[in-house]
Amino acid sequence: MSSLAHNMQNLTAVSHLILTGMPQASGSLQLDESNTPAPRKTKRQKSPRVPMPLEVPNLRTPGRKLYYGFDVDRAWLVQYAETYWDDYMGTEVDEVEDDAKISSAVYMLETQTGVANIDYGIGLPNDTSTANGTALDENGFVPLITVCSSRRGSYFRRPTQAQFNRLQAILGPGRRAHWWIDAEPDY
């Protein structure tokens, strides 16, 4: 009978708690708080991503966009891919053609610098490519590693200054990026 009386007392205490939202002052009912969820942590606000400062030159290039980036030798990109190949790829480097190595080098540069907008492009030769001694491709164009173009979407996704500085350090000391005219027209 004492067991029945104890169960009735607990039932009365629970009923009181449900109806009033407050536990009874007396009684042996203990609330189990181990199942109550922990307070939610608020998500930490990310600081806004601030793209590097960069002005688009006011050049008229009908049907051609401008690229902002570095002139590079294809041979340098191939060598770069071969140097880091084992860290990224699961095949033998000797089994891969140069164009695939160049694409892989772009991927490697993306992951090492955090610049998500890196691309391989081709530009029209100019004084900078001549001064740098950059080897032209088979069509007489300048191979480029670009970080953005003058097109709106690409321009707004340009890297932060820190990301850009990491890329510049990899491509070589004293190497400067420039605006290049795209070798291929949009139409």
Query: pLDDT per residue over 55-69, tens digit each?
Result: 989 888 889 999 999
Task: Assess contact for 88 and 108: CB atoms under 8 A.
Answer: yes
Hey, which residues does 146 pair with through a beta bridge? 69, 119
Least confident of 29-38, 72-81, 91-100, 130-139: 29-38
What was the pLDDT predicted at 39? 62
Return the closest-CA partner of residue 126 out of 117, 113, 136.
Answer: 136
What was the pLDDT predicted at 91? 81
What was the pLDDT predicted at 4? 52
Task: Assess contact for 66 and 150: CB atoms under 8 A.
Answer: yes
Q: What span, in angstroms and rounded, lies between the C-alpha atoms of 146 and 177?
A: 9
What was the pLDDT predicted at 70? 96
Section 173-184 average pLDDT:
90
Q: What is the maximal distance between C-alpha atoms in the chain?
A: 102
Residues in CB range of 67: below 8 A, 6 or more apart: 121, 123, 144, 146, 148, 149, 150, 179, 180, 181, 182
What was the pLDDT predicted at 17? 46
Q: Does the pLDDT at position 34 exceed 60?
A: no
Q: What is the DSSP code (8-state) at residue 89? A: -
Query: pLDDT per residue over 73-113, tens digit each?
Result: 999 999 999 999 988 887 888 888 999 999 999 999 999 99
Q: What span, in angstroms and rounded, lies between the C-alpha atoms of 6 and 58?
A: 87
Task: Assess contact for 169 and 86: CB atoms under 8 A.
Answer: no
pLDDT band at 31 (very low <50, low <70, confident <90, very high): very low
Return the closest-CA partner of residue 54 out of 66, 46, 72.
Answer: 66
Sheet strand arrangement including 178-181: 119-123, 142-149, 66-71, 178-181
Section 40-45 average pLDDT:
67
What was the pLDDT predicted at 37? 59
